[in-house]
Structure 1
Amino acid sequence: MKKNNKQSSKSLPVESIPLRHEVAIYGIGLFSTSTHFMLMPIVPLFAAQQLGLQAGLLAGIALGCRPVLSLLFSIHAGILMDRIGTNRVLLVIGLAALVTPFMYPALPFIWAFIIIQLISGMTDSIGWMGAQTLVGQVMKGRTRYAGRLGAVIRIGHMLGPPVVGHTWDLAGPWAAFSLVGLCGVGFILCILFLPPIKNAREREAEKKGTPIPPITLREIKPRFTEYVFSLRLLSIPAVSITVMIGMMVHVGNNINSTFFIYWLGEVENISATLIGYLVSLSSATAAIGSLWAQSLRRHIKAYWLLWTSVFIGLVLICITPLISTTPVKSFVAGSINWLLEISPLIAVYVAFCIMSCVRNLSNGIHQPLIINLMLATAGPESKGRAIGLRGTANRFTSVGAPVLMGWLAGLIGLEASFFVIGLISTIFMFWLAWLLFIHPEVHPENKR
């Protein structure tokens, strides 16, 4: 009898999501993250070539400060998405995303660069948070849709960087940053196609049978008590472990988007166009990883799959200087010489492409998993709050990793700083593995 009940529950029809709503949510994720990836090859070059920044603490602060406002306001943004509506929050973010790219070339000063980085970092971060929240609110947090979102956003990651890098080489900063501004237009258009989503105020009014109250300044202002309430979610082992693993993803990602790009451009003398193609190629493998995640989850416990994919990505970004060594260049050149002769520069570029592709394949696997696992811990009233908590934690390492690495680069050199960050990250990841062993209750059954 129990077996029949299980079979009947499995055969229940799953509510389908209208295609226009799917496309709108995927578009919000696509345009918000594409802004970040299109800025990735040109912002470090702008800092080095237009502002004259050298590798060191100031460069670490200027390049790594993008997530600071997100660190402070991610939880509040998530609360606002629950309280006044994700649509309203994203509309404000979309307007900011439209304007900020043009401010880089318009204000070529270090103080202005840091302020623009802060605003731009908040817009793409909260925009991406909004897309994840919508997966929970509209798509019920299903891994299938999270995987599709993770794959679709890679389209912009593949096409954007080489186009903007090539534009930089041909036409300079104004043309390149103007292309990034087009993402803001697409972002706003996608918001207009979202379905109406009842927020907490509307649900409460409907429950009481009263009119929906107007939005007041008091509702929009951050409240310390709500931050405390959100942070209490960390007392749940599944939440805290998921958050900490997600934090480590952003150690690798932000080194990848700052000092790794700096290494390619300033140490290896690789052009912005080639850097753009490298980012594009590696993003394609990330899309494959996102689509592969659901299949892998059927065979591997979700948290161990998440941990492994994150650890591989961290190790690979931290061995960047090893890729530049003569033995690696000689090995790559020797492996390809049967087909065609290549210069040492092309050999090291091919090596970095291979490393980035493997790293981003791992990154692609982790993304739908962490969205699904985080949303699974939150109730219907707290989807935005949970994503905001994760966003705050991610921004903490997003700020800390480049600043720490910049300080280390000024102290012991850029090459050694890659290895020190790798050692610290490895120790932390093995501590997280120990937590997964002693908290078996966090492992969900492999149902999706």
Structure 2
Amino acid sequence: MVKLVDQIPRRTQIGVYGSAAFSNTMPNVGWVVIPIWLATQGVPDWLLGIVIGCRHIGPMLFAIHGGAIIDRLGARRVMILLATIGAVTPLIYPVTPFIWAIIILQLITGLVDALGWVGAQTLVSRVMKGDATYTGRMSFCTRLGLLIGPLLSGIAWDHLGPWGGFGLIGLWSAGILISVSLLPADIDQGYQDKIAKRIAGRSMKVLIPRVADYIVAFKLFAVSTIAFIMTMSLLRHLGGGIQASFYSVHLKDIGISATTIGILISVNGAVGLIGSLSAAPMQRFMRDHWLLVWLVIGSIAFVAITPLLNDNITWLVVASGARGWALAASLVFLITMIAFFAEPEMQGKAMGLRVTLNQMTWFAVPVIMGFISEIFGRELSFYIIGGASISLVLMLGLCARLTKVFSDDTRK
């Protein structure tokens, strides 16, 4: 495997890792800017949660179809279009005076960001063949982007205001465009040839959602191992729903600057670099699915305790770093397990299904948390969401053990 990947041109590897880094960290760059901007506009918690959640409706509904389009048209072609749209739309936010218009922008940018990440993951699976070492390098690059992006967005907000913050988001999407441009035009050719046998040429019909694609994708749940992986992927993002919505607002309210908030999120990425590279060595001590369970629990717990830490920057840094390590390592196991259990020509749909489930979480958590915050207070909403999330992960792990889902897993 190492020999095969070493034969891939350096330019191609840089393009794959760059597209993954920028596309995966696009939402994280917005975590500093968008919630704080909404709060400064006087948006109440319940409505703020809805606006943040709406960003994930498009991916929730169309990620599977997007994965199917990527399978048919190729990841490179689709990602170039998405990156172009993503570079322009953030610049519209500062001049948008109506909440309904902001929601529309959230719908567009959310879909563009999510499908870009589907394409990047598909490229990693196809080019790097799901090898944990090279998937770890990809995750390392995404964490490196997370280290730099939020910090820059916080600085841009504090010194240049909304235009600086949203302008940086646009530049980040331009990074996806540059990275994808490095990839050879025929990078998807082999996989497109397989799928071309099932469709009569290429036409605009491939852009129309097909019920069959959704049925095929959800049929992956018939495989118990895939069902576990997909459900764990969903649960993994429960903590992310907290961090994407009320984490920045809470910290800003207790007197922490946008730059410091950006630093905290960047620490998440910095320690995540270690998590990415430590994933493969951890396989010597425990099976992948159990590593995934405990890493997901950690990723949720370390963001749910944020109000307990008050404005103690030291402990906030520790918690953010621990969460970043757990998130990065768990991502490696998710992608390598999908690559192992899903057929190559189905990996676009598998990644699309994973993103669909993730987006269900990203939509639901901010909305639910917003209403809990209105009723019980913002601090208690962290504990309620966090406690419920950890309970669900433990239940899934217990279910997998009792039903022996991975008893036939023959991987070394």
Is the counterpart of residue 243 in structure 1 residue 234 in structure 2?
no
Instruction: State the SS of the aligned residue for 1:381.
Output: helix
Partner of 1:32: 23
- Equivalents in 1 of 2:389, 2:144: separation in Å? 30
Partner of 2:117: 128
The aligned amino acid for 2:11 is R
Partner of 1:404: 368
* 1:112-261 correspondence to structure 2 within 5 Å: 112-195=101-184, 196=186, 197-198=188-189, 201-203=192-194, 214-261=201-248
- Equivalents in 1 of 2:286, 2:268: separation in Å? 24
Alpha-carbon displacement from aligned partner over 1:245-301 (angstroms, at most 9, x marks no partner): 1111111012112111111011x1101011111111121001110110011012211
- Equivalents in 1 of 2:172, 2:301: separation in Å? 32
- Equivalents in 1 of 2:316, 2:98: separation in Å? 32
Q: Could you tell me whether the CA contact under 8 Å between 1:375 and 1:387 is conserved in 2? A: no
Instruction: State the SS of the aligned residue for 1:40.
Output: helix
* 1:83-102 correspondence to structure 2 within 5 Å: 83-102=72-91
Instruction: State the SS of the aligned residue for 1:172.
Output: helix
The aligned amino acid for 1:435 is C
TM-score (norm 1): 0.87
Is the counterpart of residue 388 in structure 1 residue 388 in structure 2?
no
Partner of 2:306: 320
- Equivalents in 2 of 1:298, 1:445: separation in Å? 14
Q: CA deviation at 1:203?
A: 3.2
The aligned amino acid for 2:161 is G
Partner of 1:304: 290
Is the counterpart of residue 54 in structure 1 residue 40 in structure 2?
no
Partner of 1:44: 35
Alpha-carbon displacement from aligned partner over 1:30-78 (angstroms, at most 9, x marks no partner): 11123222211111111011x21122x2111012221110000110011
- Equivalents in 1 of 2:309, 2:5: separation in Å? 48
Q: Could you tell me whether the CA contact under 8 Å between 1:313 and 1:360 is conserved in 2? A: yes
The aligned amino acid for 2:38 is A
- Equivalents in 2 of 1:100, 1:194: separation in Å? 24
Q: Could you tell me whether the CA contact under 8 Å between 1:25 and 1:131 is conserved in 2? A: yes
- Equivalents in 2 of 1:163, 1:193: separation in Å? 25
Which has more radius of gyration?
Answer: 1
Q: CA deviation at 1:15?
A: 4.7
- Equivalents in 1 of 2:5, 2:368: separation in Å? 47
- Equivalents in 1 of 2:92, 2:396: separation in Å? 41
Q: CA deviation at 1:437?
A: 0.5
Q: CA deviation at 1:201?
A: 5.0
Partner of 1:338: none
Alpha-carbon displacement from aligned partner over 1:183-208 (angstroms, at most 9, x marks no partner): 22221122122231126553366x79
Q: Percent identity?
A: 34
Which of 367, 375, 400 is 2:331 aligned to? 367
Give the unaligned 5+ runs of structure 2. none
- Equivalents in 1 of 2:83, 2:11: separation in Å? 19
Alignment length (residue pairs): 408
Q: Could you tell me whether the CA contact under 8 Å between 1:84 and 1:199 is conserved in 2? A: no
Partner of 1:335: none
Greater Cα offset, 30-39 or 195-204: 195-204
Q: Could you tell me whether the CA contact under 8 Å between 1:82 and 1:199 is conserved in 2? A: no
Instruction: State the SS of the aligned residue for 2:344.
Output: coil
- Equivalents in 1 of 2:345, 2:25: separation in Å? 29
- Equivalents in 2 of 1:113, 1:244: separation in Å? 31
Structure 1 pair 204/425, CA: closer, same or farther in 2 (3 Å)? closer
Structure 1 pair 54/15, CA: closer, same or farther in 2 (3 Å)? closer
- Equivalents in 2 of 1:226, 1:84: separation in Å? 15
Structure 1 pair 415/192, CA: closer, same or farther in 2 (3 Å)? same
- Equivalents in 2 of 1:411, 1:153: separation in Å? 37
Partner of 2:393: 429
Structure 1 pair 254/204, CA: closer, same or farther in 2 (3 Å)? closer
Instruction: State the SS of the aligned residue for 1:23.
Output: helix
Q: CA deviation at 1:214?
A: 4.5
Q: CA deviation at 1:446?
A: 5.2
Instruction: State the SS of the aligned residue for 2:299.
Output: helix
Considering only aligned residues, what root-mean-square deviation do their CA atoms show, in Å?
1.9
Partner of 1:110: 99
Q: CA deviation at 1:438?
A: 2.2
Q: CA deviation at 1:24?
A: 0.3
- Equivalents in 1 of 2:339, 2:358: separation in Å? 16
Partner of 1:292: 278
Alpha-carbon displacement from aligned partner over 1:114-163 (angstroms, at most 9, x marks no partner): 11112111122111111111111111111111110111112221112122
Q: Could you tell me whether the CA contact under 8 Å between 1:85 and 1:199 is conserved in 2? A: no
Q: Could you tell me whether the CA contact under 8 Å between 1:98 and 1:185 is conserved in 2? A: yes
Give the unaligned 5+ runs of structure 1. 1-9, 325-344
Partner of 1:331: none
Q: Could you tell me whether the CA contact under 8 Å between 2:195 and 2:345 is conserved in 1? A: no
Q: Could you tell me whether the CA contact under 8 Å between 2:19 and 2:176 is conserved in 1? A: yes
Q: CA deviation at 1:361?
A: 1.0
